[in-house]
Structure 1
Amino acid sequence: MEKITFGNGLPGYEIGDKSAPGLIVIQEYWGVNDMIQEVATLLSKDGFRCLIPDLYKGKSTLDAEEASHLLNALDFKVAVEELKQAVDYLKSTGSPKVGAVGFCMGGALSFCAAQHCGVAAAAPFYGTPHPAICEADKIAVPVEAHFGVLDTISGFSDVATAKALEQKMKDAGAPATFNYYEKCGHSFFNSLTSQNLAYFEKYGYPHPAPEEVSLAHKRVVEFFKKQLA
């Protein structure tokens, strides 16, 4: 994992062959921590060149209250512009096509990237965007979304909110597929990192079913291998 700058001097972390299909890997609201770097490393081993844009500019935390402050201080319109610069950087330095994958806050921003940032495809995990920054029904590139049925973050990543967005996109003819995992809650993809046990216990999220997490991993890799070919 290499610390880099891209665009107009923006910070980020990059890993993978520069000629491989690119992925912007978008952080959770904790910031760019060990978990998101492990996820990017995992995806690089699947054959992708990954760039994590550091949207908090070096700040990260595992304290929920502090994370909320960082999230509330983030200008999402500026963040979307920075994601666009990340996509442009990957394209201009060797990656023929670029996708977006993100988690929690990054899941919501993945929808934004699909509408505004020039990606070929997006895979949002457990996050939905505010309509002020993303009109998801106007997305024209393939989207594969992933949500846990046990997710209780109402209005953002719970099943009812996800299904409402799914219906809105379906009615508009947007090319989106939504996947629901019966034995998973919020942040379930983090179970693939080395911090999984302590993480789920600390924040009270359900321990996800390993076979469902493996399925989500398999799906997202197959999705991007197809869409970024």
Structure 2
Amino acid sequence: MIATTHVTRLAAGAALLLAVTAAAGAQSTKAAQPDYAAAMHREHLNETPTASAGAHIAPRVEVVGRTVTYATINGKAIKGFLAKPAVGAKTGKAIIMVHEWWGLNDGIQAMAKRYAGEGYTVLAVDLFGSVATTPDAAMKLYQAGMADIAGGEKNLGAAISYLKKAGAKSIGSVGYCYGGHWSLRTGLVGGSKLDAVVMYYGAPITDPAQLARLKAPVLGLFGGKDTGIPLDSVRAMEAAITKLGGSVTINVYANANHAFANPTGQAYDRTAAEDAFAKTVSFFKANLK
């Protein structure tokens, strides 16, 4: 009986040790994950949400834009900005644009018009419901959005349905910063309904279980000097998509910082941004029929 009790105590002790070790390992793993909200706050700390030089580049053709209600979620109307060519516009080829961490402001609307000038119907969605005017306020919006992945995906799903009902035959997505991550999530939500995904320096997703929902080819555009989005995490995402049999192309601009193509803010790098825009347009042209 004494021997049995001793063995039982040893087993219990071993179980406790394993539990403590596992908990410590989980905490260590959690601690090792990048805090993207804090990183984005650091990257944008000295910025103000004013239109960058990129937002002042006129569309190639005349476009029109208006506010539309593209969804009703939990009884609340969700409004976005819809832009399309002023003449001969058909919804056939469409793009969902996701704003950066400042929200759906004038800079994002201007960029939506520029994509519309390339012949697309562009729906700039709103995942925040408000815009930020300071880095502190933007970080709170970012954190709230990332804390409600299901709500954000529901919003994007509604955007896809809105464009499909309007006659879209093919749909792509593009987003900057916060929107870069959510552009990729648009691909996860849309599955076979999405035909192209472009993410500008957004937080990568590396979990194969999530990426398995992705059917569209991905174009990723990142800055080599971006300290907020580590390139090793980008390469991990690239490897995960490739292993799943997906198509992914990553372009890294060695001398560019985070937000190098942002329509809002002071980090705009014209050389990198214009090359990235050209690559984005070519990618959409190849994949949106």
TM-score (norm 2): 0.69
Cross-structure match for 2:140:
69
> Does the 8 Å CA contact 1:111/1:128 hold for their aligned counterparts?
no
2:116 corresponds to which of 44, 48, 52: 44
In structure 2, relative to structure 1, the CA distance for the partners of 1:131 and 1:171 (3 Å cut) is: closer
Per the alignment, in what secondary structure is the counterpart of residue 237 of structure 2? helix
Residues 213 and 10 (structure 1), Cα distance of their counterparts in 2 relative to 1, 3 Å cut: same
User: How big is the alpha-carbon RMSD for the aligned residues of Structure 1 and Structure 2?
Assistant: 2.0
Q: Which runs of 5+ in 1 are unaligned?
A: none
Q: How far apart, in 2, do the equivalents of 1:130 and 1:164 lie? A: 9
Task: Identify the match of residue 182 of structure 1 among 254, 257, 264.
Answer: 254
> In 2, distance between residues paired with 1:123 and 1:102?
7
Residue in structure 2 matched with residue 158 of structure 1 by the alignment: 230
- In the alignment, which of 80, 85, 90 is matched to residue 12 of structure 1? 80
TM-score (norm 1): 0.86
Residue 125 in structure 1 maps to residue 204 in structure 2? no
SS in 1 for 2:219: strand
Runs (4+) of structure 1 moved beyond 6 Å?
Answer: none
Of 233, 238, 242, which residue of structure 2 is paired with 1:170?
A: 242
Once residues 261 and 92 of structure 2 are traced to their aligned partners in structure 1, the CA distance between those partners, rounded to angstroms, is 23
1:30 partnered with 2:102: yes
For 2:261, what is the secondary structure of its paired residue? helix
Instruction: Report how many residues are paired.
Output: 213
Q: Which amino acid aligns with 2:139?
A: S
Tell me whether 136-145 or 83-92 shows the greater mean CA deviation: 136-145
Distance in structure 2 (CA, Å) of the matches to 1:119 and 1:218:
21
Residue 113 of structure 1 is aligned with which of 171, 180, 186? 186
| Equivalent residue letter for 2:174 | V
Residues of 1 paired with 2:282 and 2:210: CA distance?
26
The CA deviation at 1:148 is 0.8
Indicate the SS of the match to 1:46: coil
8 Å contact kept, 2:91–2:163: no
2:275 is aligned with 1:215:
yes
- Provide the C-alpha distance between the structure 2 equivalents of 1:145 and 1:129, rounded to a whole number of angstroms: 10
Alignment deviations for residues 104-128 of structure 1 (CA, whole Å, 9 cap, x no partner) = 1111111111122231110011012
**How far does residue 21 in structure 1 lie from its aligned partner after superposition?**
0.8
Deviation at 1:5, TM superposition (A): 0.2
Which one is further off, 107-116 or 16-25? 16-25
1:136 has 2:208 as partner: no
SS of match in other structure, 1:139: coil
Task: Specify the alignment match of 2:152 in structure 1.
Answer: 79
Between Structure 1 and Structure 2, whose CA radius of gyration is higher?
A: 2
Letter in 2 for 1:219: K
Equivalents in 2 of 1:41, 1:134: separation in Å?
35
* Post-superposition CA distance 1:21-72 (Å, at most 9, x none): 1100001111111221111111111111100111112x10131111111122
Verify the 8 A CA contact 1:22 1:50 in the aligned structure 2: yes
Deviations 1:153-191 (A, max 9, x none): 0xxx2322211211222222211111111121111112x
Amino acid at match of 1:70: L
1:212 Cα deviation from its structure 2 partner: 2.3
Residues 1:60 and 2:131 aligned together: yes
Q: Which residue of 2 aligns with 1:2?
A: 66
Q: In structure 2, do the counterparts of structure 1 residues 174 and 132 end up closer, same or farther at CA, with 3 Å as the change threshold?
A: closer
